[in-house]
């Protein structure tokens, strides 16, 4: 059994509504390949607006290439986290439309490119057990996404037909980052996206936001994405 890990660790600077909030980068590190038939290729990262529908991340999102950081922020990358809800045009809604929590208007897409020589089976999973402080445990979410047709590994920006998932292959459910879980189980190389965000809990059932009473401080933690040969 071989494992390759993609490790995300990060920090958020939080405070009460009267304090300006700032989001520090989340670092992204990729291990070197193990030449045994399973390899996690170079990631492709996008910063996307969460308040509107995204039809194509390669067009509608901010392209970060093979980025080494992820950021959670307001409307602009330099903006702090927000606690007022926004409409689909990216405008804050008038009072009393507050989220009741701090959240990020953006989310991050990390494209993952597993390579399985000769149809070797593998599983992509993620885990943050013991690696996230309380505010991030309750707010940071991950959703795995699989598309029958997607862009090939960066910098090759052409679309490739992947086809539907076959027997023995399955995309994992949307899970909280703190609980870990499967992103994808596959029998051959598949392009898959891991989408990370901090949504407003008032709009997402079962997820808790960052309380407005959170003490001003810096909170650091990590999430590990692992490729395991099966």
Distance CA 187, CA 168 (A): 7
> Do the Cβ atoms of 113 and 43 come closer than 8 Å?
yes
- 10 Å CB burial of residue 101 (0-12, 13-18, 19+) is buried
Distance CA 230, CA 2 (A): 8
What does the pLDDT read at residue 91?
A: 92
Q: pLDDT tens, 65-108? A: 887 777 888 888 888 888 899 999 999 998 888 888 888 899 99
Q: pLDDT tens, 17-31? A: 222 333 333 444 444
Q: Write down the pTM of the prediction.
A: 0.84
What does the pLDDT read at residue 227?
A: 83
Q: Which stretches of the chain drop beneath a pLDDT of 70?
A: 1-36, 129-131, 154, 216-221
Distance CA 55, CA 58 (A): 9
Q: 3-class SS at 45?
A: strand
What does the pLDDT read at residue 170?
A: 93
């Amino acid at each position: 059994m071989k494992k390759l890990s993609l490790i995300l660790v990060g920090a958020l600077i939080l405070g009460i509504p009267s304090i300006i909030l700032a989001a520090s980068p989340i670092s992204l590190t990729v291990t070197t390949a193990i030449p045994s038939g399973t390899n996690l290729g170079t990631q492709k990262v996008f910063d996307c607006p969460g308040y509107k529908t995204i039809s194509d991340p390669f067009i509608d999102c901010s392209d970060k290439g093979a980025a080494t950081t992820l950021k959670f922020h307001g409307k602009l990358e330099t903006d702090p986290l927000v606690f007022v809800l926004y409409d689909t045009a990216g405008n804050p809604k008038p009072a009393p439309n507050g989220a009741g929590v701090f959240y990020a208007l953006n989310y991050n897409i990390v494209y993952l490119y597993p390579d399985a020589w000769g149809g070797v089976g593998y599983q992509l999973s993620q885990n943050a057990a013991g690696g996230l402080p309380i505010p991030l445990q309750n707010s940071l979410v991950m959703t795995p996404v699989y598309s029958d047709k997607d862009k090939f590994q960066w910098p090759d920006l052409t679309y490739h037909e992947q086809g539907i998932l076959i027997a023995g292959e399955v995309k994992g459910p949307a899970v909280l980052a703190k609980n870990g879980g499967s992103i994808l189980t596959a029998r051959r190389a598949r392009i898959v996206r891991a989408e990370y965000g901090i949504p407003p809990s008032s709009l997402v059932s079962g997820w808790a936001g960052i309380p407005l009473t959170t003490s001003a401080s810096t909170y650091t933690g990590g999430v590990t994405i692992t490729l395991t040969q099966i």
